[in-house]
Chains A and B, each alone.
Chain A
Amino acid sequence: MRKYLGPLSKDNPILVQILGVCSALAVTAQLKPAVVMTLSVMVVCAVANLVISLIRNTIPPRIRIIVQLLVVSTLVIVVDQVLQAVVYDVSKMLSVFVGLIITNCIIMGRLEAFALSHKPIPSFIDGLMNGAGYGLVLVIVAFFRELLGSGTLWNYPVIPSAFYEAGYMNNGLMILPPMALILVGTLVWIQNSKKINAK
């Protein structure tokens, strides 16, 4: 069980292995798209791991990358269509970043490193946990960016209007894309300090 929980903190794909950063940051200005993105990546990662693990003994090693890409992109198309049907506004907001799940290195990385050499059920769980580890960072970053940047959470205003009357202002800088990177940098800092203290 411990092994599967690793991706949530100790082996977090974004903070420790620097994988899948590309799509992680652009969708974190608000909580809602971040959560939707998390769910999509979890689904794609888990199911892709399951499928590849099921057919791992029949894939010729030479063309495995193409096979993996095909499996992943088929799943992403399904997810994309579902998102467009169910939550159209969020899917518009995410725009190309749903498509970019295909090139998310976390998924390819887990397929290569885990699914090709393990049984289906552990692969499925591994995919799910790695998706969750990725999502955890996304949600933390989105939480702070939305709270400090627009004073809302999930589009509901949470900062009382008395604050604004007393001169409190939303920090516009938080909404800008570069702040996502700086927040992730800070998370890496916290994570590494924890690791060094534990030693």
Chain B
Amino acid sequence: MRELTDIFVRSVFIDNMVFAYFLGMCSYLAVSKNVKTAFGLGIAVCFVLAVTVPVNYLIDKYLLQEGALAWLSPEMANVDLSYLSLILFIAIIAGIVQLLEMVIEKLSPVLYQALGIFLPLIAVNCAILGASLFMQEKHFPTVAHSFSYAMGSGVGWLLAIVAFAAIRERLKYSNIPQPLQEKGIAYIITGLLGIGFMAFLGI
């Protein structure tokens, strides 16, 4: 249990998707004009991460890794399909996002209203594929570990985009040199936030 919380806290603060690895920057910069939509996108990212990463973990463990196919028959034990992981992961992510969209639309129209527009955007969000690839690199022992990692990354991303959107709302009232407005200042603020987050490294 302790291990799981460790992984969670680590991936929220220290290995933060945005500030440490710059993943999901495109939507992070595009959808952070106000806090409300930023929050919606953040929740959607958490949701998709929490589903796709464990699924990709199982795929990786039982299909792709070297020796993963041993459960089929002993001769398959030395087959290594890991070069297929990229194409399989992205296909799974695109498929799950589509599926989630349909399921949410049926089960909860309210949630669909809130998340709907963001879901298609998420299929090509680097944070999602990035989390799956990092998960593969970290060799977690169980599904629970990968789930906790996914939740941590999602919450970290949510935290980052909400904090950034809040700062951006305040920026309207500040006096920024004209060429630096909008994009330029957005990069620099993210950089400064990143430096702030580095303080967590000591934990």
B195 CB to nearest chain A CB (Å): 5
Contact of B90 among A102, A189, A190, A196 (CB under 8 A): A102
Asked if B191 is at the interface of the complex by the 8 Å CB criterion, the answer is: yes
B200 CB to nearest chain A CB (Å): 13
Quick check: A99 and B86 within 8 Å, CB to CB?
Answer: yes
A144 CB to nearest chain B CB (Å): 14
A148 CB to nearest chain B CB (Å): 15
A21-B29, A188-B184 are known contacts. Are A178 and B134 too (CB-CB below 8 A)?
Answer: no
Quick check: A181 and B187 within 8 Å, CB to CB?
Answer: yes
Contact of B86 among A73, A95, A108 (CB under 8 A): A73
Name which of B14-22, B104-112, B139-147 contacts chain A: B14-22
Majority SS at the chain A contact face? helix
Quick check: A25 and B22 within 8 Å, CB to CB?
Answer: yes
Name which of A74-82, A115-123, A124-132, A160-168 contacts chain B: A74-82
Count of interface residues, chain B, beta-carbon cutoff 8 Å: 45
Q: How far is the CA of A26 from the CA of B20 in the complex (A)?
A: 8
B133 CB to nearest chain A CB (Å): 4
Interface size class of A (residues with CB under 8 A): 35 or more
Q: How far is the CA of A181 from the CA of B28 in the complex (A)?
A: 13
A178-B191, A185-B184 are known contacts. Are A23 and B126 too (CB-CB below 8 A)?
Answer: yes
Asked if A177 is at the interface of the complex by the 8 Å CB criterion, the answer is: yes
Give the residues in chain B near A192, CB-CB below 8 Å. Answer: 178-180, 183-184
Quick check: A21 and B26 within 8 Å, CB to CB?
Answer: yes
Asked if A193 is at the interface of the complex by the 8 Å CB criterion, the answer is: yes
B139 CB to nearest chain A CB (Å): 14
Asked if B185 is at the interface of the complex by the 8 Å CB criterion, the answer is: yes
Quick check: B133 and A181 within 8 Å, CB to CB?
Answer: no
Asked if B129 is at the interface of the complex by the 8 Å CB criterion, the answer is: yes
Q: How far is the CA of A114 from the CA of B74 in the complex (A)?
A: 49
Give the residues in chain A near B179, CB-CB below 8 Å. Answer: 189-190, 192-193, 195-196
Quick check: A103 and B125 within 8 Å, CB to CB?
Answer: yes
Give the residues in chain B near A100, CB-CB below 8 Å. Answer: 23, 126, 129-130, 133
Contact of A181 among B23, B90, B177, B188 (CB under 8 A): B188
Q: How far is the CA of A181 from the CA of B178 in the complex (A)?
A: 19
Q: How far is the CA of A22 from the CA of B86 in the complex (A)?
A: 17
Quick check: A179 and B86 within 8 Å, CB to CB?
Answer: no
Quick check: A176 and B29 within 8 Å, CB to CB?
Answer: no
Quick check: B87 and A22 within 8 Å, CB to CB?
Answer: no
Q: How far is the CA of A64 from the CA of B177 in the complex (A)?
A: 42
The 4 A-B residue pairs whose C-beta atoms are closest, nearest first, are A178-B194, A185-B187, A181-B191, A192-B179
Chain B positions near chain A (C-beta within 8 angstroms) = 19-26, 29-30, 83-84, 86-87, 90-91, 94, 123-130, 133-134, 137, 177-180, 183-188, 190-195, 198
User: Can you list 21 pairs linking A and B with CB atoms under 8 Å apart?
Assistant: A18-B26, A18-B30, A22-B126, A23-B22, A23-B126, A25-B22, A25-B25, A65-B123, A69-B94, A74-B87, A76-B86, A96-B130, A99-B129, A103-B124, A178-B192, A178-B194, A185-B185, A185-B187, A185-B188, A188-B184, A193-B179
